[in-house]
Structure 1
Amino acid sequence: MPEPVSNPAAARLQPQPAASGGAFAAIDLGTNNCRLLVGTPTQAGAFRVLDSYSRVVRLGEGLANDGRLSEGAMERALAALQTCAQKLLRRPLRRLLAVTTEACRQADNGRAFVARAQAATGLPIRIISAREEAELAMESCAPLMRAQDRRALLFDIGGGSTEIAWIRSGPAGQAELIGYVSLPLGVVTLAERAGLCCYTPEGFGRVVDEVAAHLSEFDRVHSIGREMRAGGVRLMGTSGTVTTLAGVALSLPRYSRPLIDGRVLDIEAADQALRDLFQLGREGLRAHPCVGPERADFVLPGCAIYAAIRRVWPSSCVTVADRGLREGMLLRMMRQDRAPPRRAAHPQRWAAHPAP
């Protein structure tokens, strides 16, 4: 394995006592994207965004074929992480969390890559479990639940996996994870494995059947379909797939997060958006303002996963969340920071300061 990339910032990203009044930062290195979010808490229990960054790195490119992260994919991810580290040097931080998910969980060289990235950037990156990934998604999306909701079914269609979280509404707006399942099927893995099969009705249908079979097993364990028929269950989705469906359903000339996040989308409108996307074909997807060339190959595999969820758990509407692990990490850190001090229970606190 090549030597870690030299990065002067690595020497300056060292653990420090919490910076009073500093910002909170979260980094999510996924199978397809590297994302950074920096924020400060507000009195309403939410946060104000100070900085954000997102870069398509395709870390999981080729993983389905040989079980390893390729050198090119690792270099792209390292470059994005170094950009994140440089951004964090510009402000004092109160706390920082940096995680990576399915690609590094699956890859034979995933742990070695994380060690290399830590040495290159100074960032405290760690591989999180599928359960923690589901919990963080729940943490970010739980504020979208309403008082009448007894339960929520949250799906997160990622690059390397799909997480399904079955959630119970708790007191004071808190949410509890009843159960979860992580399918090793995401938009990147399906696109690479299936090639262009999702562009044909037959190929699309085969993917829907495969995913639905996995979901049906989870449904049998928790009787989710029966609970949904009884009422009081909110279907929520967080991922590029469901936000794209919302953008198309609303006929947006370009994607707009304020118009999408928290939107309750009628299921018929979502179904029509799926049909519209399918009819566009590959070149039409590349030209669509809510898709674009970088995401064109991943939209229909994601739509196939959504269609399987729709088949197993019919619902009259879906709540669309343009939020994910980064937001969940920020909210978790801020909640823990407000709690009474328990030194042994606190994760490591980090502050980034430029060298004198």
Structure 2
Amino acid sequence: MVGAVDVGSNSIKLTVARPGLSGGIEELASAVAAVRLGAGLSTSGRLADDRIEAALGALHNFAALAREHGADRLVGVATEATRRAANGATFLERVRAETGWEVRAITGDEEADLTFRGVALNGDMHGRVVIADIGGASTELIVAEGGVVIMAQSVVVGSGTLTDTLVPSDPPTVAELAASARAAAARLDLIAVPTEAAVRLLCVGGTAEYLARLAGGGPVVDRAGIARALDICRARASMELALTLAIPQARARVLPAGIAVIRALADLLHCDQVEVAPSGIRTALLLDTFAEIAARNGAPAAARAAVRSATPSPRMEGMT
């Protein structure tokens, strides 16, 4: 059994799993902690001391939970906040020493690769698809056609950084969310996303999930649904929004800006609707770890290939 964590700018997410009989994963446990590791990063350039302590506490608890479910390997990846912070490496050293997690900071390209492979395992990749994962400090964009990645890029705009710099009010004002959408659009408009053909927008992760719940709960959200969700965010302070969605207040506080990023993406791509799916980073990380363990233990090549083939191995073009 393996425990895998995704140490993001807003939340730390855990999945404990073992190899599935068909080559995928069999999930045994999961958990999430909204620690806002990236809070204040946009102004200080560092991970705040109290956020580091909160993250270490969450990872300590997650290690205990993973071991309770039989995990004998604890792996993880850290994304934009950790890779950008001046003290990111020091934070990861403490993670290893104090919690036992083997967490490494990954590049934007690696994050996009893990996201795509995890989503493609169970997702519909027909036609031209833009996959967007809106994080706290960055947004990962992957453009795929027929299951082949043709472009991937990490854009430095996220729900946490937008909230820290542009959304001081709780609940946010109309002007603050409009400013967030404009700031996101300015960043996203620099990306040469191919739009000459019809494009599907597939948003993954917590922001997309909570948007869908506010809009009515379905896996497809139209423009009216995005507008309804933003209206709810403007009408409810983060404490009330947290109770509505049964999520931590810290996560609810940055959600409105995250939905503003999704609206900006839909505008940029001329999409009338947004499809929603779970994040795939931990799934792909688990499959890679299972394959590594099988190779180290001398498993037959066919068995190792079966584990790796559970997710596509996309040809990356135009990676930045």
- The alignment's TM-score, normalised by the length of structure 2, stands at 0.83
Aligned residue identity for 2:38: G
Equivalent in 200, 208, 211 of residue 242 of structure 1:
208
Identity of aligned residues (%): 30
Equivalent in 138, 160, 166 of residue 188 of structure 1:
160
Structure 1 unaligned spans of 5+ = 1-22, 170-174, 253-259, 344-356
Q: Structure 1 residues 319, 143: CA separation in 2 closer, same or farther (over 3 Å shift)?
A: farther
Q: Structure 1 residues 101, 53: CA separation in 2 closer, same or farther (over 3 Å shift)?
A: same
Q: Structure 1 residues 145, 163: CA separation in 2 closer, same or farther (over 3 Å shift)?
A: same
CA distance in 2, matches of 1:138, 1:334: 18
CA contact 2:204–2:278 (8 Å) conserved in 1: yes
CA distance in 1, matches of 2:300, 2:269: 37
CA distance in 1, matches of 2:247, 2:101: 31
Q: How many residues align?
A: 298
**Structure 1, residues 54-94: CA drift from partner, whole Å, max 9, x if none?**
11222112222211112211111111111222233335547
CA contact 2:172–2:233 (8 Å) conserved in 1: no
1:277 and 2:230 correspond: no
Shift in Å at residue 99 of structure 1?
A: 1.1
Shift in Å at residue 112 of structure 1?
A: 1.1
Aligned residue identity for 1:217: L
2:283 is aligned to 327
2:187 is aligned to 214
- Larger-Rg structure: 1
1:138 is aligned to 116
1:163 is aligned to 140
Aligned CA RMSD, in angstroms, stands at: 2.7
Equivalent in 88, 102, 106 of residue 124 of structure 1:
102
Equivalent in 143, 152, 173 of residue 129 of structure 2:
152
CA distance in 1, matches of 2:20, 2:133: 26
CA distance in 1, matches of 2:178, 2:189: 16
- The alignment's TM-score, normalised by the length of structure 1, stands at 0.75
CA contact 2:10–2:251 (8 Å) conserved in 1: no
Moved more, 332-341 or 26-35: 332-341
Q: Secondary structure at the match of 1:98?
A: strand
Aligned residue identity for 1:239: G
CA distance in 1, matches of 2:68, 2:301: 29
CA contact 1:34–1:54 (8 Å) conserved in 2: yes
